[in-house]
A and B are shown apart, each in its own frame.
Chain A
Amino acid sequence: MKRLVQGFAAIFIAAFALMFMTHRLNEAEGYGGDKTVSVYNWGDYIDPALIRKFEKETGWKVVYQTFDSNEAMMAKIAQGGATFDVAVPSDYAISKMIEENLLLPLDHSKLPNLKYIEPRFLDLSFDPHNRYSVPYFWGTVGIVYNRGMLGGKTITSWNDLWDPDLRNQILLVDGAREVMGMALNSLGYSLNDTNKQHLQEAKRKLDRLMPNVKAIVGDEIKLLLANEEAAVGVVWSGDAAEIISENEALDYVVPKEGSNLWFDNMVIPKTAKNIEGAHAFINFMLDPKHAAQNAEYVGYSTPNRAALRYLPKDIANDRRFYPDLDAAGRLEVYENLGKRMLAYYNELFLQFKMQQK
């Protein structure tokens, strides 16, 4: 008993000492208090050198935290336990957050660099007039395929995936909107279709794809494709860029029937404390040179028109990741379909997953 008490006492003392030390360390480095800007972003989605540069130029300290899904991020902001000054949700999540009153309107006079953004990426359906958000990165959903493993065959359309030669060769991302959207597009429907007959038709078409599907996975799809675990994968363009840089045999295509165009935008959540610093950070990231440096590091496509000049030619001219947007009228942004429709999409997707080979 005495030993036990002593043990507990030791742990308590050690814990308090550590807490005190972290507190002192944070103070010494300028964290804590109101000298900080806390940024909530996707994992591995910023060049750390830019954070250091921002801190040096403005004197604010950045507290950087990451999330791995829009839903997790929204839950954390909605519960209000932590304060974030800047967050980076995706398109449909932004319209949801606006609906639920989780965002603060932006002060455009404090964001002079907004003028560098490609006009086509402004004033989109999920946030009219960019009252709440400004673009950070954008991209598409498409097909990564391994030229070597397919013996020179190329893929240009969603319908190519139904080729019987691809038996057990396809990896899909575990997302209802992505997979259902692919099936809808392959049938010539919009990926925001809410006609239940069309959705049922898409689901029946997906069932016929099942023999070709090897697995339906999450983030590990990058690892699996780079390791040639399967020849074909349906992925986001940013992931594709990362996989291709690891394995040269892979190529990426945005299918000709159309696909999803997505955005990750910077916003200021309702819980923000340092609104001044948040605007400073957003404006800093909108600077063309910073946007270019960030795009080169992260590998996603920048919406910053002026930044393209600072990017290496082979990146800025890569049509796979900077597709010609005039020809790409077939690219659609996900609309917020409402909870009920989303539940229906998920229900069909679940039924599809339940199919046994």
Chain B
Amino acid sequence: MERAWRNWYLIPYAAWLVLFVIAPLVFLVYESFLDIDGQWTLANYEKVLTPIYLKMMAYSFWYALLITLASLLIGYPTAYWLTKTRHKQLWLLLLILPMWVNLLLKVYAFLGLFGTYGLANAFLQAIGVGARQLLFTDFSFVFVSVYIFIPFMVLPIFNALEELPPSLIDAARDLGASGWTTFRRVVFPLTLSGVKAGCQAVFIPALSLFMITRLIAGNRVITLGTAIEQHFLVTQDWGMGATIAVVLMIAMAVIVFLTGSGRKEGSR
């Protein structure tokens, strides 16, 4: 009796899983084997392996890597500093606050800021560097992406640092380790789970960015996300769009597998 009841609880979750996870995946894979006229074909996968899509894939990975590294370099010290401040919750809230603003609005704001006559260039001129083109460059693309993704990097690292017992650091210091050694040998290894989770949370969505590539990079950066959007909305070649999506998902799965699931070793 008891057991029967327990299985009932599973129904909403199982239904959710089937309807919104498994079924769409099956459709996506199915669609990827159809050509533009709805005939069975492997041509989409052959096309993904042509230089143009391989190049696009390489760009996507390169920029996602840059965005993740920059987020980590800024995010880790930020998270570390956050754990040391007195009004943690307030600072954390300030970090999360921009996430409540619509993404499109934030990106549009950068159009104004980075424009030829925008604030950023006014500042560069004032400090004597001189105006330069910021919009539609690799730099601005990575900058804006990092700005968007940084909370996703900081939060898991912050949590990992919070869970770190302070006594471990005291012990390291008592045993004569310098500040840097303590960080390198104790703090960083123990927060690696947070770093992994943060990197995954940034790298994976960064792989398929599309709106920012048009608005901030003026289509000078073309990622797989742009291609998927094009194929679904403009070309109506759903098969090709689905194929790129499947390839991206496989790539993401490989990344998650290689970096290990973030939580395993660290927390307990």
Contacts and interface: CB of A to CB of B under 8 A. Distances in A.
A223 B218 CA distance: 13
A154 B91 CA distance: 55
Interface stretch (B10-18, B142-150, B231-239): B231-239
B52 A350 contact: yes
Contacts of B136: 214-215
Contact of B215 (A72, A176, A217): A217
A350 B213 CA distance: 14
Contact of A350 (B37, B116, B227): B227
B183 interface: no
A75 B240 CA distance: 18
B117 A218 contact: no
Contacts of B55: 354
Given A71-B236, A214-B136, A343-B237, A351 B52 contact: yes
Contacts of A217: 214-215, 218-219
B214 A346 contact: no
Contacts of B237: 339, 343, 346
Contacts of B135: 215, 229
A228 B117 CA distance: 9
A69 interface: yes
B233 to A, nearest CB: 5
Interface in B79-130: 108, 111, 115-117
**Count class of interface residues, chain A:** 20 to 34
Contacts of B171: none
A214 B218 contact: yes
- Considering residues A171, A174, A176, which has the most beta carbons from chain B within 10 angstroms of its beta carbon? A174
B246 interface: no
Contacts of A339: 36-37, 235-237
B233 A354 contact: no
A63 B135 CA distance: 39
A343 B235 contact: yes
- Considering residues A71, A223, A229, which has the most beta carbons from chain B within 10 angstroms of its beta carbon? A229
B78 interface: no
Contacts of A218: 214-215
A321 B133 CA distance: 33
B218 A350 contact: no
A227 B115 contact: yes
B182 interface: no
A29 B52 CA distance: 55
Contacts of B219: 174, 215-217, 353
B235 A346 contact: yes
A227 B117 CA distance: 8
A216 B218 contact: yes
B235 A354 contact: no
Contacts of B173: none
A224 B222 CA distance: 20
Interface string A67-87: 001011000000000000000
Interface string A315-357: 0000000000000000000000001101100100011011011
A220 B116 contact: no
B56 interface: yes
Nearest to B135: A229
A354 B56 contact: yes
Contacts of A356: 220
B218 A215 contact: yes
A223 B236 contact: no
Nearest to A71: B233
Nearest to A230: B116
Given A339-B36, A340-B36, A343-B237, A223 B222 contact: no
B159 interface: no
A351 B50 CA distance: 12
A224 B235 CA distance: 26
A346 B233 CA distance: 11
Nearest to B59: A354
Contacts of A354: 52, 55-56, 222
A89 to B, nearest CB: 15
A228 B235 CA distance: 32
Interface of B: 36-37, 52, 55-56, 108, 111, 115-117, 133, 135-136, 214-215, 217-220, 222, 227, 230, 233-237, 240
Given A214-B218, A215-B135, A354-B52, 18 more contacts: A71-B233, A71-B234, A171-B218, A214-B136, A215-B136, A217-B214, A217-B219, A220-B111, A220-B215, A229-B115, A339-B36, A339-B235, A343-B240, A350-B227, A351-B52, A353-B219, A353-B222, A354-B222
26 contacts: A71-B233, A168-B133, A174-B214, A214-B136, A214-B218, A215-B217, A215-B219, A216-B218, A217-B219, A218-B214, A224-B111, A224-B115, A227-B115, A227-B116, A228-B116, A228-B117, A339-B236, A339-B237, A340-B36, A342-B236, A343-B235, A346-B230, A350-B222, A351-B52, A353-B222, A357-B220
